[in-house]
Amino acid sequence: MTDKDLEDLGDKIVRVLKTIFDPEIPVDIYELGLIYDVFVSEENDAKILMTLTSPNCPVAESLPVEIEEKVKTLKEINNCEVEITFDPTWTQDMMSDEAKLELGML
């Protein structure tokens, strides 16, 4: 897979992530800044490093499963694993300007 192919695949994964919304905030998880990194191995396995808005997030169990299932719908992806981290802790500063605008914070 070329660098361009990897970049295109990364863009596809981001488009999928932008279809998944936080249930408490009407903004997608990517624009909220919950996605810290996306890795794709040479075997086309994806690993997504993310956080939650709080450790007590009501979708802490279901959100990673939803992400894995949706990313695996991409024909180029064989498998997907989501890892949750709280380091660094999520803050509103991690939101994109688009998300801040949507929530009336700009």
Residue 16 has pLDDT above 90, yes or no: yes
CATH 3.30.300.130 fits 3-90, yes or no: yes
Name the pLDDT band for 97 (thresholds 50, 70, 90).
very high
Containing 83, the helix (H) or strand (E) segment is strand 79-84
- Total-model pTM: 0.92
pLDDT at residue 87, as a whole number: 94
Annotated domain spans of the chain: 3-90
> How far does CA 22 lie from the centroid of its chain?
11
